[in-house]
Amino acid sequence: MFEILKKEDLADGIVLFEVKAPRIAKHCLPGQFVIVVEKPGAERIPLTICDYDREKGTITLVIQDVGRASRQLSRLKAGDYIEHVTGPLGRPSELTELEPQERADKKVLFIAGGLGAAPVFPQVKYCKENGIPCDVIIGAKTEDLLILEDEMKDYADNVYIATDDGTKGFHGMVTDLTEDLVTNQGKDYDLAVAIGPMIMMKFSALKTKELDIPTIVSMNPIMVDGTGMCGACRIMVGDDVKFACVDGPEFDGHRVDFDQAMRRQALYKTEEGKKLLELEEGDTHHGNCGVC
Amino acid sequence: MALNLNRTPMKEQEPKVRAHNFEEVALGYTPEEAILEASRCLNCKRPLCVGGCPVNVKIPAFIHEVAQGNFEEAYNIINEDSSLPAICGRVCPQENQCEGVCVLEKRGAPIAIGRLERFIADWAMENGIKGNTEIVSNGHKVAVIGAGPAGLTCAGDLARMGYDVTIFEALHSPGGVLVYGIPEFRLPKEDVVLKEVEKVKDLGVKIETDVVAGRAVSIPELIYDEGYEAVSLGTGAGLPKFMGIPGELANGVLSANEYLTRNNLMHAYDNGETPIIHGKKTVVIGGGNVAMDAARTALRLGSDVDIVYRRSMEELPARAEEVHHAQEEGINFELLTNPVEILEDENGWVRGIRCIRMELGEPDESGRRRPIPIEGSEFDIDCDTVIMSLGTSPNPLIPSTTEGLDANKWECIVADENGKTSLDGVYAGGDAVTGAATVILAMGAGKKAAAAIDEYIMGPKQTDV
């Protein structure tokens, strides 16, 4: 049982939990994730670690209400307990492996789309604390869905905002803002780290390839155990099949087969899947469980 | 006394009925049936069965008590050597072990040792018999990694010797492969596995779930920071293999591990929370026990099922009983057949599998005749789901995060016959060392590791003069 010490509403349908998990807090690094089970019998859902405090023994998780399991989880309150939290899983970000003398010369651009700001945040914080210069783009559909803007400003050299509807900052996609920064504003980056919905990472990677900036993305495919056992999270990176849970979650964004990954992500959501569920579940199928 | 060659049959659910439910297939003996079967035992002076058992259960002694109707005494005798008899009685390959060497085997009807073991273990559970749980603490702490058959056995043995034992388990529920891998209809979870786990806890063993050793805590930390004097690794062989054929990433292709974990550990078949693919036609690739489990699970979820295996019935590695049950239930075997490509529809879903017929050539290094493709014999099977059951390999997480712990090129942890690894005070056993094998071999390794850890901490045993 893992106690929720603090809950914050970040935006509509997005909450932040600070959770007591000393073993995880002691070892986790930016880029890693946990698997959470809200109550006995609930789904195992992977969540990236947004922050951690080794002394307090806490980790911070950000949850967006997108399906049945995440909805139930996001309804918990401070003082409630989460049944299971397992981690840290996956490999830490490549940035944590930089030699001290390499750090100052590595200028990083973080591109965060939507909820992707949560996994980007600990990396930005890590950069500040280790002398790696970095800028951050936070993108969202609209101003109300922007998260962690103030927190990012505490650590990043520059924070740029992009909204699809122009309600705040740059009017347009994160890809357009990336191009604007590099071609019009004379910015120069050695590495881009793009994290967000797969479609956003796909187009960010295409853009950075055009701009010739090496790019890391963080893959969030379907998983069950998160320790390499099920193989549900397998993706193509170049010619190799990789398990996102143990080989990733971060990969070279210019080599990931996003189209295939997106297709696999829809495994339990496609029309065929829905039909199968309708067939199997009969009258009990309502189509609003978030699974289909 | 004349030899009785009539093995007492065990009742089973009718194939047509059980093909639609997840209830246990085999129903167990009644006390009368158990006594009848036990009475056939010749009580050999030099019993071969004991040596045939990886944990050396004193088989004739317990069977003798069953024949007399002394079920509690029979339980106590089994309990001296095995911590998980209700499980072993169900899933051990007895035909290759104790029953395979029974002197009556040559006459065609070995004693049904597994069924008797199961009967006694179930009887003890029903009657609340726990065996000897009086333990004198010796004040020494040992950590066990993994709450599967190797870890539970090792922990149980150490606890009985007086050690303060904590098991660290990565998943949210203890049991390892007994919970995530073997289906309910072969090994009930609530009524058998979790009760056996409770018995291990009754010995004072603590189980901390949700701890991925190597990530949440390192092996040196357990020893130097948390005060464990020795560590036993029973991390299993959990990584699924795939074939590397075209189309393997199509939607509807999954590992047997994923399919079984969703269904067994996550209860997809009865809890409504975990999604699972409900195929109309499922093809399972492979011929081991896990392939039979996946095929029979798919059948119960409403699919037609083919098993595709590249050798013939004779080489099928699954237990004969499992193959027989699968056939009775209506699973079709495509033998001497190997997949070459998975066919996708325009949306990336599986629509079929292209196979090639095989013939058997000369024996290969495994001693089995090598399957050779017959040129031009390709054919397609229409299906919407493909389950890969090609074996598993150990998880590299602990060797890769533990400096000085040697693993071989198959990622198996290197350990000697007593489980001693390259690191002082660290022992290992089960599938993590051997690669995928059986529950009982893992238990045997757990027992040896417990004995070796006892000797490591206490020094060599003094024998009475």
ipTM field: 0.85
Q: What is the mean pLDDT of residues A265-270?
A: 68
Give dist(CA A24, CA A27) in Å, integer.
6
Residue closest to B298 by CA, chosen among B337, B332, B342, B338: B332
Burial class for B193, CB neighbours closer than 10 Å (0-12, 13-18, 19+):
buried
Which residues 368-427 of B have a C-beta within 8 angstroms of A?
Answer: 395, 397
pLDDT grade, residue A12 (50/70/90)? confident
Distance of CA B102 to the CA centre of its chain: 22
Query: Taking CB atoms and an 8 Å limit, are A263 and B347 in contact across chains?
Result: yes
In chain B, whose CA is at the least distance from the CA of A266?
Answer: B251
Is the Cβ–Cβ distance between B401 and B214 less than 8 Å?
yes
Give dist(CA A131, CA B90) in Å, integer.
60
Each residue of A160-217: pLDDT tens digit? Answer: 999 999 999 999 999 999 999 999 999 999 999 999 999 999 999 999 999 999 999 9
Give dist(CA A139, CA A109) in Å, integer.
13
CA distances from B176 to A265, B136, B153, B194, B351 (A): 27, 28, 12, 11, 33
State whether residue A183 sits within 8 Å of chain B by CB. no
Give dist(CA B18, CA B27) in Å, integer.
12
CA distances from B405 to A219, B211, B233, B291, B401 (A): 30, 20, 11, 32, 9
Query: Taking CB atoms and an 8 Å limit, are A44 and B349 in contact across chains?
Result: no
Question: Both ends of chain A: CA-CA distance in Å?
Answer: 29
Residue pairs between chains A and B whose CB atoms are closer than 8 Å: 121
Distance from CA of B259 to the nearest CA of A (A): 8
pLDDT of A23 over the 80 cut: yes
Residue closest to A174 by CA, chosen among A218, A139, A210, A124: A139
Distance from CA of B212 to the nearest CA of A (A): 6
Q: Mean pLDDT across chain A, nearest whole number?
A: 89
pLDDT at A31: 94
| Three-class SS state of B230 | strand
State whether residue B272 sits within 8 Å of chain A by CB. yes
Q: Kindly report the CATH number that applies to the domain delimited by A2-89.
A: 2.40.30.10
Question: Both ends of chain B: CA-CA distance in Å?
Answer: 41
B-interface mutation test, from A83, A224, A288, most B Cβ less than 10 A away: A224
Which residues 56-115 of A have a C-beta within 8 angstroms of B?
Answer: 68-69, 83-89
SS3 track for A164-224: CCCCCCEECCHHHHHHHHHHHCCCCCCEEEEECCHHHHHHHHHHHHHCCCCEEEECCCCCC
Contacts of A72 (CB under 8 A, 6+ apart): A38, A39, A42
What fold does the segment set A99-218 form as a domain? Rossmann fold (3.40.50)
The label of the residue with tokens 């009982």 reads: B440
| Three-class SS state of B172 | coil
| Three-class SS state of B119 | helix
pLDDT at A278: 53
E-strand spans in B384-445? 385-388, 392-393, 426-428
Give dist(CA B388, CA B248) in Å, integer.
9
Residue B450 has which token pair?
């417990």
| Three-class SS state of A107 | coil
Which string of DSSP letters, residue by residue, matches B60-80? HHHHHHHHTT-HHHHHHHHHT
Give dist(CA A242, CA A90) in Å, integer.
12
Give the H/E segment covering residue A245.
Answer: helix A244-247
Give dist(CA A192, CA A205) in Å, integer.
9
pLDDT at B247: 93
pLDDT of A279 over the 70 cut: no
Give dist(CA B23, CA B71) in Å, integer.
26
Residue closest to B196 by CA, chosen among B125, B132, B116: B125
Strands A134-140 and A158-163: parallel
pLDDT of A282 over the 60 cut: no
Is the Cβ–Cβ distance between B75 and B131 less than 8 Å?
yes
Residue A179 has which token pair?
């191009």
State whether residue A237 sits within 8 Å of chain B by CB. no
Which string of DSSP letters, residue by residue, matches A33-90? EEEEE-STTPPPEEEEEEEEETTTTEEEEEEE--SHHHHHHHT--TT-EESEEEEEES
Is the Cβ–Cβ distance between B33 and B8 less than 8 Å?
yes
Report which DSSP code applies to B99.
G
State whether residue A246 sits within 8 Å of chain B by CB. yes
Residue B146 has which token pair?
């993994």
| Three-class SS state of B182 | coil
Residue B136 has which token pair?
């004198």
Is the Cβ–Cβ distance between B222 and A96 less than 8 Å?
no
Is the Cβ–Cβ distance between B381 and B352 less than 8 Å?
yes
Chain A environment of B257 (Cβ under 8 Å): 229-231
| Three-class SS state of A233 | coil
State whether residue B248 sits within 8 Å of chain A by CB. yes
Report which DSSP code applies to B92.
S
Radius of gyration of chain B, Cα coordinates, nearest whole angstrom: 23
Nearest to A224 among B261, B277, B302 (CB): B261
Contacts of A141 (CB under 8 A, 6+ apart): A114, A163, A164, A165
Query: Taking CB atoms and an 8 Å limit, are B275 and A27 in contact across chains?
Result: no
Which residues 328-367 of B have a C-beta within 8 angstroms of A?
Answer: 347-349
Give dist(CA B403, CA B395) in Å, integer.
16
Report which DSSP code applies to B206.
E
pLDDT at A274: 53
Is the Cβ–Cβ distance between B399 and B411 less than 8 Å?
yes
Count of C-beta atoms within a 10 Å radius of residue B45:
6
Domain ranges of chain A: 2-89, 99-218
pLDDT of A105 over the 90 cut: no
Query: Taking CB atoms and an 8 Å limit, are A44 and B266 in contact across chains?
Result: yes
Give dist(CA B79, CA B72) in Å, integer.
10
Which residues 253-282 of A have a C-beta within 8 angstroms of B?
Answer: 260, 263-264, 266-268, 270, 272-273, 276-277, 279-280
State whether residue B273 sits within 8 Å of chain A by CB. yes
Give dist(CA B430, CA B445) in Å, integer.
6
Chain A environment of B190 (Cβ under 8 Å): none
pLDDT of A291 over the 50 cut: no
| Three-class SS state of A248 | coil
Is the Cβ–Cβ distance between A94 and B178 less than 8 Å?
no
Chain A environment of B348 (Cβ under 8 Å): 260, 263
Of the CA atoms within 13 Å of residue B197, those in its CB half-sphere come to 24
Point out the residues of chain B with pLDDT beneath 70. 1-2, 461-465
Give dist(CA A21, CA A134) in Å, integer.
29
Q: Is A41 left (phi over 0), alpha (psi -120 to 50) or beta?
A: left
CA distances from A258 to A91, A94, A219, A236, B255 (A): 20, 20, 9, 8, 21
Give dist(CA A146, CA A128) in Å, integer.
22
Chain A environment of B395 (Cβ under 8 Å): 227-229, 246
Give dist(CA A142, CA B223) in Å, integer.
52
The amino acid that residue B357 corresponds to is R
Report the percent of chain A where pLDDT is more than 70: 91
